[in-house]
A and B are shown apart, each in its own frame.
Chain A
Amino acid sequence: MESELHELRRQLQEKTKEINRLNLLLREKDGLGNLDVTLPFTSADTNVSHPDIPCETLSNASIARYSRQLILPEVGVKGQLALANASVLIVGAGGLGCPAALYLAAAGTGCLGLLDYDTVELSNLHRQVLHTEQRVSVPKSSSAAFGCNQLNSTVRCIPYHMQLDSQNALQLLRQYDVVLDCTDNVATRYLLNDACIMAKKPLISGSALRFEGQLTVYNYQDGPCYRCLYPTPPPPETVTNCSDGGVLGVIPGIIGCLQALEAVKVICSLGNTYSQRLLLFDGLEGTFRTIKLRPRQQSCVVCGDNPSVTKLIDYEQFCGSRANDKEHSLELLKPEDRISAKEYQSIVKEKLPHLLIDVRLPVEQEICSLPGAWNIPIGDIHKEECLEKLRKKLQETDDSVPVYLVCRRGNDSQEAVKALKEKLKDMPHKFKDIYGGLHAWSKHVDTDFPVY
């Protein structure tokens, strides 16, 4: 019996894998990223949202399935039909998009567009709960569509495995009723905002980082837009992504669920939405706070009375940052100020005297570190007390002994070398960084070394 179950599970897993593979193949042959082919509704009149036969009555199956929300007087048959005839575009199938899609599919939304340029990684699964271990390296859009359809096969799920940009955004948005901003970067947030103004779509915006989340609704019932609040993009160095700042999985989960709720309210015309209001959620303190926001600004460059931005622009240029949250490699130092992970390996092997400084946070050092490393977090490296300690250490060390700096990916270590060369220029020691940081160490030297 036990082995029979095991065998059945194994077979099921194999078949699921095969289905995923075929799905992927089909999408590729279908012309992935080719908008015209992957668009749900290829009607010439792009304002017609539902060339599909509109749903006018609820089937018995629908009545049974949605009975618990159907008997809410605020929803009723009218609301359920509104949902069945609604289409929602979810931009970003990550920590916010997964729970939002799940609840919108469960609620019986007629059509869900799921857009993401990325593929599923193991480090996504702690918060991107629509994806599974079996679907690692599958495009997130397909994985999310597959997951939603497993929950509710009656929902039309359309995956878009592509990057939203100024060329494709309007054509895509026009075919949906409501748009959810579940993205992870500033450039795409400005792009989505402007596109929603131009396509006249409400934008339900969520964001999350560490233990905090924010939620609001833009461009709805004459409320403000993203640009009314933030006319100027933030300096790139002040923006932290989840990969660097960290995020507790359930935080975007909560905000994503609230985005689904707001979408249902917009579709069914229920109650007070978060238009002109901002929700601040602090999971660590356990507080939800609602803020009254400014009204739509007449002077806004995109939604104001005399808008100057009337077509989509280059948002990466506007924001000075890339439209994804992928790591980027800085090149701050000359090659002679850097050593490779392999070179450092031979220094260790030959027991050449040196000082190794790890500039990551203590919490990261606890995950993994190289033996004998000193810890000075990059944020402290400008501080007098740290510099004094290091100066003292160097004074006890022979002038010829080099100092190597290491971090997770080899960006902060370069910043650190730059800072120390300046702050300790009176010291004769050479400061160099390990190219590519601990990620390079794991890749080129010790493949058992953990990567996070």
Chain B
Amino acid sequence: MELVVSLEFSGGAELLFDKVKNHEVSLPARANGPWTIKHLLVWIKDNLLKERPELFVQGDTVRPGILVLINDADWELMGELNYELKSKDRIVFISTLHGG
């Protein structure tokens, strides 16, 4: 079964995705086990990221300065990389702003 989730990029993170902030994506069924944020990051890198992946991911996690939200909550409260995606989840990647 495909898994449909919405992805959002803001705070400048959208610049890595052709300036598109909102993406509704269908993730193909995984043979072994559920989709987690960890798998999602790999999928984003392979399928959505247009250029310079190091500005978005580092190792198997997001680069420092990007905050991940799962349904409007800090991912730290939700299990971070191990959170299991559910249908219609909204995952937001915000680049922290420093200007003033």
Contacts and interface: CB of A to CB of B under 8 A. Distances in A.
Interface of A: 92, 94-97, 182-186, 189, 206-210, 212-214, 229-235, 237-242, 245, 247, 252, 278, 280, 282, 285, 289-294, 325, 382-383
Most buried by A among B51, B63, B67: B67
A92 B96 CA distance: 18
A209 B72 contact: no
A402 B9 CA distance: 40
Interface of B: 10-12, 21, 51, 54-55, 63-65, 67, 69, 72-74, 76-77, 94-100
Nearest to A182: B100
Contact of B10 (A212, A245, A382): A212
Given A234-B65, A291-B69, A292-B72, A213 B98 contact: no
B96 A207 contact: yes
B64 A232 contact: yes
B65 A292 contact: no
Given A233-B65, A238-B55, A325 B99 contact: yes
Given A210-B12, A212-B10, A282-B10, A189 B64 contact: no
Given A291-B74, A292-B72, A293-B74, A240 B99 contact: yes
A193 to B, nearest CB: 12
A242 B97 CA distance: 10
A94 B98 contact: no
Contacts of B67: 229-230, 278
Contacts of B10: 212, 280, 282
Contacts of A252: 99-100
A214 B69 CA distance: 14
A409 to B, nearest CB: 18
Contacts of A293: 74
Given A212-B10, A292-B77, A293-B74, A96 B65 contact: no
A207 B55 contact: no
Nearest to A186: B98
Question: Looking at A95, A213, A294, which has the most chain B CB atoms within 10 Å of its CB?
Answer: A294
A280 B51 contact: no
Contact of A184 (B11, B65, B98): B98
A289 B98 CA distance: 18
17 contacts: A97-B100, A184-B98, A184-B99, A229-B74, A233-B65, A238-B63, A238-B65, A239-B65, A245-B99, A247-B99, A252-B100, A278-B67, A280-B11, A282-B10, A285-B21, A291-B73, A292-B73
